[in-house]
Amino acid sequence: MKFADPKNDLAFKKIFGNTKHKKILISFLNSVLNFTGAKIIVDVELANPYQVPKIPELKETILDIYATNKEGVKFIVEMQRKDLGNFTKRSLFYTSKAYVEQLPKGNDYTKLKKVYFIGIVNFEIFSGENFISRHLIINQETAKQDLDDFEFTFIELPKFHKKLEELQTVLDKWIFFIKYAQDLTLIPKEYENLEEFKEAFEVAKQTSWDEEELKVYEYMALKEFDEINALKTAEQKGIQKGLEKGLQKGLEQGLEQGLEQGIVEGEKKAKEELAKKSLKQGLDLETISLITDLSIDEIKSLIE
């Protein structure tokens, strides 16, 4: 049995953005945000539900979600496999955009609901060892969350190192699934009694995919592979060019420094020769010092 890689754009959206399998997304959101009690999400509505994209129209994997709970909040979920830079700024942009788009005509600001951003990235963006981090707008003086309409959660997959036998929470199991599902051939026993995970593995099973889905999936995987190789090639060329420039600059600086040192040493040698001749002619030390700009001690060392 072969499972698709959930980090692949198509696979991620097919698994988590599929209206036919809402319980997968609901379980994932509740576990990531640690929702309990009245905050527990019971239903979701996807603004951009899964459908097989046309290859020329491929875009980044972003899920725009309206959740049903007592708060009626909104969620943005993004999977980003490659580090394209400025991911944190992108998250601020998407969250702000989702917040503003809620505003109805008449500027009734009371209608605005909280927006949660969840970013799953296959690279490191923050210092520290925790694979999950939460970011809030905090009052610097009181350490309270007075402005609570924005909340950001980032999951850095490279920092997740737990093995199957170490998985304790539902969140652990979801992160393990996203990171390692493509390497598995069977549904692990740790997942057997959890319906949402059995469903997720079933959706990820490529034998149930149609030809068009497999075609787009492979295209995305190859496209990413080509982009990574192109980036590595560019880096190697940049390093080589930098070395060449550095070597050339070093040679130029070395020649310049050598020339300067040679001139200084030549001038000193000439002064010393003049001082020796002046000593032979019987001039006093003070006079020779004035003529040659050498110190009295330097002249005495020539005598010795």
DSSP notation for 45-106: EESS---PPPGGG---EEEEEEEESSS--EEEEEEE-S--S-HHHHHHHHHHHHHHTT--TT
Q: Which of 37-46, 80-89, 179-188, 244-253 has the highest mean pLDDT?
A: 179-188
64 falls within a domain: yes
Q: What percent of the chain has pLDDT over 70?
A: 81
For residue 89, the enclosing domain spans 9-208
**CA–CA gap between residue 170 and residue 34 (Å, rounded):** 10
How many domains is the chain built from? 1
220 falls within a domain: no
Res. 278: pLDDT tops 60? yes
Res. 231: pLDDT tops 60? no
**Nearest 5°: phi and psi at 287?**
-65, -45
Res. 232: pLDDT tops 60? no
In this structure, what token pair is assigned to residue 74?
A: 């909104």
What's the maximum distance between 2 C-alpha atoms anywhere in the chain? 110
Burial of 189 (0-12, 13-18, 19+ CB in 10 A): exposed
**Mean pLDDT over all residues of the chain?**
82
Please measure the distance between the N-terminal and C-terminal CA atoms of the chain and give it in whole angstroms. 92
With tokens 């949660």, the residue in question is 116
107 falls within a domain: yes
43-46 vs 61-68, strand pairing mode:
antiparallel
1 falls within a domain: no
196 falls within a domain: yes
Nearest to 50 by CA among 203, 194, 275: 203
pLDDT digits (tens, 9 = 90+) for 133-149: 999 999 999 999 999 89
Contact 73, 67 (CB under 8 A): yes
Q: Is pLDDT larger for residue 13 or for residue 82?
A: 13
Q: Give every strand in the sheet of 74-80, ordered side by side.
A: 43-46, 61-68, 74-80, 115-121, 147-156, 132-137
60 falls within a domain: yes
Give pLDDT, residue 29: 93
Res. 225: pLDDT tops 80? no
48 falls within a domain: yes
172 falls within a domain: yes
